[in-house]
Amino acid sequence: MRRRVGVGAIQKQKLVQEKYRDKGTEIEENQFEQMTKQLEVFRTNLEEFASKHKKDIKKNAEFRRHFQEMCAAIGVDPLASGKGFWSVLGIGDFYYELSVQIVEVCLATNDKNGGLISLDELRQRLVKARGQSKQHQEITIDDLLCAAKKLRILGNGFSVFPVGRGKYLVQSVPGELSMDHTAVLHQASNNGKAHVSITMLQQALSWERERAQKALDYMVKEGLAWLDTQDSTEKLYWFPSLFSECINAS
């Protein structure tokens, strides 16, 4: 006959479990305290590094990218800080200035592309507008992505989304694109032609004709796509935001 577990044994087991739980909590608290101290040391070292290499960070795009990666690794955002050490350092000023210029270029090209521009074309226009003066730092795609994050404060009027490996589009008009609209842009970008047709979308995405037509009609209505009826076989939908990208690829 199997013996039943006594009350004393149950209480003893509970005490053991509580001790393990208390010990686990103590270890977690110690680990957290050690990590906090390590982060403080990292932040101090990072401030010293930034102060020493201030000019390199502001002038050298590759150096600036690595610095941003170091900041992100320990949860420091020098661009979001408007006071204290990082404000005195002035690193964020470069990105604030770049953000304003991004808005200016987007507004100037809205009538042409419907508020959708590739990050590559945006960079080309910014480089041209800023001129070749030595007082202007080199700007990279990474710089533009960092600066574009600041524009989120304006709501969904400005957003950046990928359309392929290393390819991005900047939307500068209110309203969010759906997954279908993004898929259409992705297809137009990847085929290197800057245009699609309903048949192309059906074959590439396995869509029903009605789904493809609905997505394209919306994009034409919003000025994101141009309808071309000159083709003898099928209507083509061109995306001006991808023109420069496809020309450069060819």
pLDDT digits (tens, 9 = 90+) for 211-230: 999 999 999 998 889 999 98
Query: Which are the contacts of 77, defined by CB distance < 8 A and separation ≥ 6?
Result: 71
* pLDDT at res. 48: 73
* pLDDT at res. 91: 58
Residue 51, domain member (yes or no): yes
Pick the last residue of a domain from 46, 76, 106. 76
Whether 217 and 243 map to the same domain: the answer is yes
Shortest CA distance to 226 belongs to which of 212, 211, 242? 242
Pick the last residue of a domain from 76, 103, 135. 76
| DSSP-derived secondary structure letter, 240 | G
Residue 110, domain member (yes or no): yes
Shortest CA distance to 212 belongs to which of 236, 243, 242, 193? 236
* pLDDT at res. 212: 95
Whether 180 and 119 map to the same domain: the answer is yes
- Find the domain containing 198 and state its range: 94-249
Q: What is the CATH number of the domain that holds 241?
A: 1.10.10.10
* Spans in the chain with pLDDT lower than 70: 1-12, 16, 19-20, 22-24, 26, 28-32, 34-39, 41-43, 46-47, 50, 57-58, 60-61, 72-93, 131-137, 152-157, 174-175, 245-250
pTM: predicted TM-score of the whole model, two decimal places: 0.59
Residue 19, domain member (yes or no): no
In sequence order, what are the beta bridge partners of 169?
Answer: 118, 161
Whether 57 and 178 map to the same domain: the answer is no
- The distance of Cα 152 from the centroid of its chain, to the nearest Å, equals 11
Whether 100 and 169 map to the same domain: the answer is yes
* pLDDT at res. 39: 62
Whether 157 and 43 map to the same domain: the answer is no
Residue 22, domain member (yes or no): no
Whether 51 and 174 map to the same domain: the answer is no
Q: What is the C-alpha end-to-end distance of the chain, expressed in Å? A: 85
Residue 113, domain member (yes or no): yes
Whether 170 and 108 map to the same domain: the answer is yes
Whether 221 and 105 map to the same domain: the answer is yes
Q: Are 182 and 194 in contact, with CB atoms under 8 Å apart?
A: no
* pLDDT at res. 127: 84
Q: Are 225 and 238 in contact, with CB atoms under 8 Å apart?
A: yes
Whether 154 and 228 map to the same domain: the answer is yes
Q: Are 184 and 200 in contact, with CB atoms under 8 Å apart?
A: no
Residue 193, domain member (yes or no): yes
CA distance 177 to 158: 12
Residue with token string 């507008």: 129
Total domains in the chain come to 2
Residue 9, domain member (yes or no): no
Whether 48 and 119 map to the same domain: the answer is no
Whether 190 and 115 map to the same domain: the answer is yes
Whether 128 and 170 map to the same domain: the answer is yes
Residue 129, domain member (yes or no): yes
β-pair type (116-118, 195-196): unpaired
In sequence order, what are the beta bridge partners of 195?
Answer: 238
Pick the last residue of a domain from 76, 107, 136. 76
Q: What angle do CA 49, 50, 53 make, to 5 degrees?
A: 85
